Structure formats: C-alpha cells, structure tokens
A = this chain, B = another copy of it.
C-alpha cells in the first residue's frame, strides 16, 4: 500500500498513537512500556497492603479518644476558624502579596502556642509554625500545609479556589491534635507550613523544598476545595502534565533606527526563538503542549530593542521527555542569540513533576469522608497525583490531600467562592479538618498504620526512580544528537 501502511501493521500504529486509560498516570505507549513491571509491582503492593480494607477498619473501629478529638476539631472550627475562613475569603490577596492573611494567621498561631518563623526560604509571605510536644521530641513530626493565595480575576483578586479555608482547616486540626498530644503526653511535634502563591509561578513549595524546609517531617496533610469527594489511586502522576516554566531573556545592543546596523536586535532574537519553537513542534511527540508569550518585546520603535523576553510553559506527560524538550528549546534559544548577535539568559523558574499517592492514606481519608457525610462521592479511584501541586514534596514525605466536596461549582469560579460562605462550604471544611485530625491521630498512635504508610511510600519512591530510569532508556535514541 502507498502512503499508508498495510493492515497487518495497523495494530502497532494504533498503539503508537493510543492514549491512556483514565486511571493510570502513564499516558503514552512509551510510558506504559517503561511502567510495565513497575505497575505490576504497585498492584502487588496494593494487594498486600489492602488499603481499602484498612481505611474502612480504622473508621469502623471503636475509639473514644479519636471521637473526642474529632469533636474537639469540629468545635474549634465552629468557634473560631470558620470566621477566619470567611474573613480571608472576603479579603483576597493574590500570590506573593498575601501580607494581611499571613499577619493574621501568624497571630492566631502564636496565640495558640506555635513558634512562627516568617519569610521562610526567602519568601516574604511564607511561614513555618512549630509546636514541640512537652513530652519530648521522640515522636513523629506531623505536618500540615496551609495555602492562602487568591486567584487573579478580571476584576481583581478573588478566592474562587477557596484557598481561604485551607489555613483555618489546618489550624483547627493542628490545635486539636496539639491538645491531644499534650493531654496524653505523646512525644512529637506539629508543623504548619504556610505556603504562598499556590496559583502562580515560580512554585513556592519547590523553593521551600529546595531550601530544606520540609526536612524531618514524618507526614503531611493538606485540604483543598473540590466539587467531588474522590481519592487517588496509589502510584505516581500529576493531575495533568508535568511542567517546566522557563523564561528566556535576550539582550542586545541599542541603536537609533537610522543606524540600526550598530545595534543588535533582542526582539529579533525573541521572535526567531518563538518561530523555532513552532518549527520544533513536529520534532516533539504530539502529547507535548508548549505555549509561550513575549511579555517584553521592545518599547520604542525608533530604537533597536536591546531587551526582549519570552516566557514558556512546557508540558509533557512525563518528566524525562520533558527534559528532552527543554534541552532542545534551550538550544533553540541559544541559537536565536547566536543568529542575531545577542545574548540569552535562560531561567528555569518553575517545575511541576509527578508526585506520589499512597493507598493507605487515600483510602483512610476516603473512608472517613464517607462516614462524615461527604457529598458528591465518586466511587472510582482517580489518576494518581501528589497531594500538592508541584509533586516534588510528595516524593520526600508521605502525605494526603483531603478533599471533601465543598461546592456545587467547579474550581476557579465565582460559584465556588459563594459556596465558601454557606453551609455547603462550611460543612465540608469542618469535615476536612476532622479527617486531617483523624489521619494524624492514627499516624501518631498506631505503629502498624505508621509503618504501613512508611513502607508504602518507600516502595513507591523506589518504583518511581525505577520508572524514571526505564523512561530514560526508552527515550534514549530519540534524545540523541542529530545524525547517528
């Protein structure tokens, strides 16, 4: 046959272009091949851990201490934190500018006995609030993540993603657990991580992770708004695609238009780079998603521009091939500078990668959510993804994102913001806090649970590395130089 392939090779081609099954994180044939044995090992691991049963058993078990703790968490929410959530919701501040929210939260935390460091990792609106048990530091370090950045809307900042609730939820859980540890003389510590700018790059959590802020944490819990109560399948992935955020700054030499030959045109370089990226699209696998802007492209038309900036989001289902794309794009940027006699500075300012989901924690959260009356429950497991948006922190510390349906509207909408102030949101936030209390409680007091969580995370972390190695092998020939 002609421009086509014969029928007997159709099957192969189909596979070559096929997509992913909805629950697996491996979306391309290369990734599925690379993941092959790894996925089977995850399945075995889950078979051995039987996390669904585990979660259900924990919830069903009679445990008066636990019940008291959940009641206390609820009471803290009702008495103080719900108001704080509403206040933040009505005083939205965009990322890197959450000064009033942070001031208020720091005050509340200090009043509740936490020692608070602000400006963590050099970020003005980050903080770390720590409480050490008087019973000693021999126990686990229980971490809670607290976001507070609002969205940038067309008419200003607004909390359409309900980040207003996350810190009050975390504080309700933390304070209740603190009281529990104090009264029962349980050793350990509680740390609340105030993480700014969740909505915009560069990703604060990656900066804080790189600065070592999360080191020593035993477990991390977090809550997030959602329109559906659902849990992830165990494994690794990210909600959508891994991302590199990269800024390319070209510097030339200015000159008046009438002697343009004395200049070196930085905009010309940026434009050529932009075209080069378009030219590379068919040299990249079709699952790549690459989008750029030129936020600085010169000001005055009568002067040869000596500065221009291109800013790109580069996405691919896995981080290895993403590296390959990034390398070729960096080469294209260097080429644009070389071609125009300019210079380029390449700033990889943000990075989102596959994170780890633990069956033990996901199923425990899910069982509690159902028992606490969560609405809009999705029975199907979702695609694995780290409990925070960058993926990276979840590779280091086992954890879970608690997501009880808190709105009938989808994320990033005015509807979701409105629900934050009504029973729809309030009830869900209260449940989030109770579930977080429960998970930390089990982790703190149930050695078998703690052990299962630890083993699962270590195993998945090992498999994750193995998967990356497999991917690197699978892409090796494609990532090679031009001519074999």
A4 located at the interface, meaning its Cβ lies under 8 Å from any Cβ of chain B in the complex: yes
A17 touches which of B14, B20, B382 (Cβ 8 Å) = B20
CB-defined interface of A76-90 with B at 8 Å, one 1/0 digit per residue?
A: 000000000000000
A483 located at the interface, meaning its Cβ lies under 8 Å from any Cβ of chain B in the complex: yes
A279 touches which of B2, B225, B275 (Cβ 8 Å) = B275
A residues with a Cβ closer than 8 A to B are 1-11, 13-22, 27, 161, 198-201, 203, 224-228, 230, 232, 238-241, 243, 245, 251-253, 257-265, 267-268, 271-272, 274-276, 278-287, 289-305, 308, 311-313, 315, 328, 331-332, 334-343, 352, 378, 380, 382-383, 385, 389, 401, 403, 405, 410-411, 477-478, 481-484
Q: Could you write out 27 A-B pairs with CB less than 8 Å apart? A: A2-B389, A7-B224, A7-B228, A7-B232, A7-B383, A8-B226, A8-B228, A8-B378, A10-B383, A11-B382, A14-B19, A18-B19, A19-B20, A240-B258, A261-B283, A261-B284, A262-B477, A262-B478, A267-B294, A271-B274, A272-B275, A275-B278, A296-B297, A301-B312, A331-B341, A336-B339, A337-B482
Task: Please report the C-alpha to C-alpha distance between residue A262 and residue B275 in the assembled complex, in whole angstroms.
Answer: 20
Contact of B289 with A295 in the complex, beta carbons under 8 Å: no
Q: Which residue of B lies closest to A152 (CB)?
A: B300
A335 touches which of B1, B291, B303, B338 (Cβ 8 Å) = B338
Residues of B within 8 A of A203 (CB): 2
Contact of B298 with A352 in the complex, beta carbons under 8 Å: no
Residues of B within 8 A of A299 (CB): 293, 295
A301 to chain B, nearest CB (A): 4
A213 to chain B, nearest CB (A): 18
